[in-house]
Amino acid sequence: MSKYRDGARIVATETRWTFFRFFSIFATIVILLSLLFFGMKAIGLIGKTAVERVVFEQSYQRSESLKSQIAMDEANLTEINAQLMNPNLDENTRFNLEAQARAARIRIATAKGQQ
């Protein structure tokens, strides 16, 4: 009877070890393949990423939103320039307004470049 119990104990130990060994290998393979396919999808090797990007860039909604963004930034820039004409501004306020004006000019140039 002790040979039977020893054999059963060995089988149980080896079964547990084999299960965890194969499970870890399987999990590693699944993770690596997921990362590989995600990377390939992200750079456009698989899927329709490049076509979707072109369609998105030429869509009516995007072009109208860029026009709207340019108009809003130009209005903000006009407002900021009007505030900068005030001779009674303190140095910090003037610095902040000039920084906002630079940021608005950059946004306008970027949006016009994307049109």
Dihedral angle sign, alpha carbons of residues 35, 37, 43, 47: negative
Alpha-carbon distances, residue 40 vs 37, 43, 109 (angstroms): 5, 5, 32
For 19-53, give the DSSP string. Answer: HHHHHHHHHHHHHHHHHHHHHHHHHTSSSSHHHHH
Q: pTM of the full predicted structure?
A: 0.53
Per-residue pLDDT of the chain (115 residues; tens, 9 = 90+): 577 787 777 877 888 788 888 889 999 999 999 999 888 888 777 776 666 777 777 888 888 999 999 999 999 999 999 999 999 999 999 999 999 999 999 999 999 988 7
